[in-house]
Structure 1
Amino acid sequence: MSSQAKKFGFGMPWESLYGYSQAIQVGETVYVSGQLSHDRLGNFIGTGDFELQFQTALENLDLVLDQFGAERGQVVETTVLVRNLRENFESAARLHAEYFGKHRPASTIMGISDLALPDQLVEIAALVRLDVES
């Protein structure tokens, strides 16, 4: 038995440039690409402001979850990429914990030297299971 893949994109120019979807659902699993800090028009938000970038990336994650009828409690794993991790770890940890509340997905946080956009400080990817009760 084969599954149909359901894809979602915001329609941002970099989706076709790089050749990817913001998320793809196969069966009961949704794979969410790294979310970053941008508005609906593709304008980058929060230059120099780590917390604003983190919060906006999570807001974009919420928009992706909505497209699949998913909730935060169905996120089973996150991957958080952070520039200047030593400087930003406490903020990242606090904002991640606040976003999920009592829910505790598996998570990996990594310090990296660079991200796709010059002013980008954080990117957040997720794995979602639609068959998990939130």
Structure 2
Amino acid sequence: MSTLDLFDHGIPAEKHFGYTQAIRSGELIHVSGQLAFDDAGDFGPDGDIAAQLARTYVNLDKVLAHFGVTRNQIVSQTLYVVDLVRNAEVVAEANRAFFGSHRPVSTVLGVTELTFPGQAIEISCVVDTRLPA
């Protein structure tokens, strides 16, 4: 039996909600919804979708670095966006900037609210380690 490779940011929400940020299962890495929190676990800035996207992608990069993989190995992503109609172009622009020429499968869902007050974005993904970095 092999041990699981897990990653946590070390924020209180992980223990409070009982989850891990990412888990490697064979050649796949399943990444929980990444949020816009800082190194101290503080969430913010409230409602600022562009700033939250930037922080969320920083947190996603930390997960990828733990497993030694890159953005080019992300095969699918799901984005949960508050007020999607108003924020769609900002999300699309940030997504293109994050991935460059790589284009994973993507599902974008408009939601009325997310876990934390002021939270505007959450991004989960699946990574295939067999793909070239």
Q: Report the TM-score range of the alignment, normalised by the length of the smaller protein.
A: over 0.9
Q: TM-score, normalised by structure 1?
A: 0.96
Mark the runs of 5 or more structure 1 residues left unpaired by the alignment: none
Q: Which residue does 2:80 correspond to in 1?
A: 81
- Which of 44-53 and 34-43 deviates more? 44-53
**Paired residue secondary structure (1:39):** coil
Tell me how far 1:49 sits from its aligned partner: 1.0
**8 Å contact from structure 2 (residues 56, 122) kept in 1:** yes
Q: Percent identity?
A: 40
**8 Å contact from structure 1 (residues 46, 53) kept in 2:** yes
**Paired residue secondary structure (2:101):** coil
Count of matched residue pairs: 133
Tell me how far 1:48 sits from its aligned partner: 2.5
Deviations 1:43-72 (A, max 9, x none): 112213110001110110000000000101
Instruction: Quote the Cα distance in structure 2 between the aligned partners of 1:93 and 1:83.
Output: 14
Q: Hey, which bits of structure 1, 4+ residues long, moved more than 6 A?
A: none
Q: CA RMSD in A?
A: 1.0
Deviations 1:68-114 (A, max 9, x none): 00101001111000000000001101110110000000000000011
Mark the runs of 5 or more structure 2 residues left unpaired by the alignment: none
Instruction: Quote the Cα distance in structure 2 between the aligned partners of 1:24 and 1:102.
Output: 26
Tell me how far 1:4 sits from its aligned partner: 3.4
**8 Å contact from structure 1 (residues 57, 123) kept in 2:** yes
Q: Which residue does 1:9 correspond to in 2?
A: 8
Q: Are 2:75 and 1:54 equivalent residues in the alignment?
A: no
Instruction: Quote the Cα distance in structure 1 between the aligned partners of 2:34 and 2:76.
Output: 14
1:24-103 mapped onto 2 (5 Å cutoff): 24-103=23-102
Please tell me the residue identity of whatever aligns with 2:13.
W
